[in-house]
Amino acid sequence: MAIAEFLLFVLTTTLGGMFLCGANDLITIFVAPECFSLCSYLLSGYTKKDVRSNEATTKYLLMGGASSSILVHEIELQEIVNGLINTQMYNSPGISIALIFITVGIGFKLFPGPSHQWTPDLYEGMLHSWFSSFRDYECNRSIRRQKDHPKMIISWLLRTNQIRWFFFSIFLTCSYGTKVEKIEKNQSFTTTDEGFLEKLRIIVAFLSVTSKVAASASATRIFYIPFYFSSNEWHILLEILAILSMILGNLIAITQTSMKRMLAYSSIGQIGYVIIGIIVGDSNGGYASMITYMLFYISMNLGTFACIVLFGGLPPLAGFFGKLHLFWCGWQVGLYFLVSIGLLTSVVSIYYYLKIIKLLMTGRNQEITPHVRNYKRSPLRSTNSIELSILFFQN
C-alpha cells in the first residue's frame, strides 16, 4: 500500500480519461479506455486486506474485459462502416451491426440500463474497504505511524491545496463555458474534461465520476460524427437505454437500505438523464446541457462520497438547473416521452434524497456528525460558485 503506486495509478487513470476525451481516431478510442479501465481495476483492488474489495475488483475486471472485447469488434466493424460511408451505402446491415456493438461497448463504461449489475457491488465493496481502512486508521494507533496510509495521502493533498482547488474549480467552470462553445461550433475537442480533479477525497468518487465523464464525452463524439447519417437508429437505441437506466436506477434505489448501494443506483439513474442530452445533440444546445448536468453531477457526487450527508440538501437546488436545462432541450427537440419519464423519475429520486436528509436530521448515526462540522463549509461554497458561473455562462 505504498504511496508511489497509488499516485501512479491515479495519474494514469486521469491520463487515460484525458486521451479518451481528446481522441481523434478509432485506435485511440480503443486504447484510452483500456488504459483507464486497467488503472481503475488496480485502484479498486488497492486495499488487498479486505475481501469485499477483492470481490468487487474481480467483478469489475471480468465485466470490463468482456466489454473491451466487444469494443474491439466494434472498432473493426467501424472500419467497415467507414468504407461503407465512403461508398454512400447508408442503409446496409453493416452499419446497424457496428452501431449495436459500439452501443454495448460504450454502454458498459457509462453503465446505463442493462449493464448496471456490477455497479452497486463495486461501489459497496470499494467504499466498504476504504471506510474500514479509514476507521482502522482512526482507531488503531499503530497504523497511524505509517506515513503512506491512503488517508494520510488524501488529507495531505486536501489540506495543502484547499484554496487552490477552490479557485481551480472556478477556472474549470470557465473552461467548461468555452468548451461548450467549441462543441456548438463543431470544433475539435482538444481540451479535456478535468472537472473531477476538484476534490480528490475518496477514490470511488473519482472512479465513478471520471469514467462517466470520459465515456460520455467519447460517446458524443462517436455517435455524432461517423454515425451522422444513420441518426434515427442510434436515437432509438439511446432512447431505450435512457429509459431503462432512469427507470431501473431510480426505482431500485427506493428499495435499498444500504446507503452506498443507493448512491450507486442513483448514479445509474443520472446517466439516463445524461443520455437524453446526448440524444438531443448539437442543435438547441443539447451538448451544452449535457455538460452542465455533468458538472453538477460531478460536484454532487464528489461531495456525496466525501461526506455522505449533504447530498440531499443540494440536488433540488443546484442539480435542478441542470435537469431543467436538459429537459427543456429535450422538449424542444420533440422527445416528449423521454422527458416525461425523466420528470417522473426525478420526482422519485427526490424521495430517496430526502430519506438521507431525514436520516441525518434524526441523528441516528453518530459518526457522521463530526464530519458535518468539518466539511460543511467547503462543498456549499464550491457548489454555489459553480452554479453562479454556470448561470453566467448559459447566456
Partner 1 sequence: MKSISIYLSLILHRMDLPGPIHDFLLVFLGSGLILGGLGVVLLTNPIYSAFSLGLVLVCISLFYILSNSHFVAAAQLLIYVGAINVLILFAVMFINGSEYYKDFNLWTIGNGLTSLVCTSILVSLITTILDTSWYGIIWTTRSNQIIEQDLISNSQQIGIHLATDFFLPFEFISIILLVALIGAIAVARQ
| Residues near partner 1 (CB under 8 A) | 2, 5, 8-9, 12, 15, 19, 25, 27-28, 31-32, 34-35, 38-39, 41-42, 45, 48, 80, 83-84, 86-87, 89, 92-94, 97
Task: Compute the CA torsion angle 120, 372, 48, 114 (nearest 10 deg).
Answer: 10
Q: How far is the CB of 241 from partner 1 (least distance, A)?
A: 17
Nearer to partner 1, 94 or 177 (CB): 94
Q: How far is the CB of 209 from partner 1 (least distance, A)?
A: 20
Nearer to partner 1, 3 or 247 (CB): 3
CA distance 306 to 313: 15
Residue 334 is given by DSSP the state T
CA distance 242 to 230: 19
Q: How far is the CB of 191 from partner 1 (least distance, A)?
A: 16
Q: What is the DSSP string of 134-149?
A: HHHHHH-HHHHT-TT-
Sign of CA dihedral 175, 176, 181, 183: positive
Nearer to partner 1, 85 or 158 (CB): 85
Q: Which amino acid is at 394?
A: Q
The H or E element spanning position 250 is helix 231-254
Residues 6+ apart with CB under 8 A from 256: 262, 265, 352
Q: How far is the CB of 4 from partner 1 (least distance, A)?
A: 9
Q: How far is the CB of 83 from partner 1 (least distance, A)?
A: 3
Nearer to partner 1, 4 or 139 (CB): 4
Nearer to partner 1, 133 or 345 (CB): 133
Q: How far is the CB of 5 from partner 1 (least distance, A)?
A: 5
Residue 305 has which C-alpha cell?
462520497
Residue 111 is given by DSSP the state -
Residue 348 has which C-alpha cell?
422519485
Nearer to partner 1, 35 or 158 (CB): 35
Q: How far is the CB of 13 from partner 1 (least distance, A)?
A: 9
CA distance 203 to 129: 11
CA distance 175 to 169: 10
Q: How far is the CB of 35 from partner 1 (least distance, A)?
A: 5
Nearer to partner 1, 31 or 197 (CB): 31
Helix (H, G, I), strand (E, B) or coil at 194: coil
Nearer to partner 1, 48 or 381 (CB): 48
Nearer to partner 1, 9 or 196 (CB): 9
Q: What is the DSSP string of 16-50?
A: HHHHHHT--SHHHHHHHHHHHHHHHHHHHT--TT-
CA distance 369 to 200: 21
Q: How far is the CB of 290 from partner 1 (least distance, A)?
A: 26
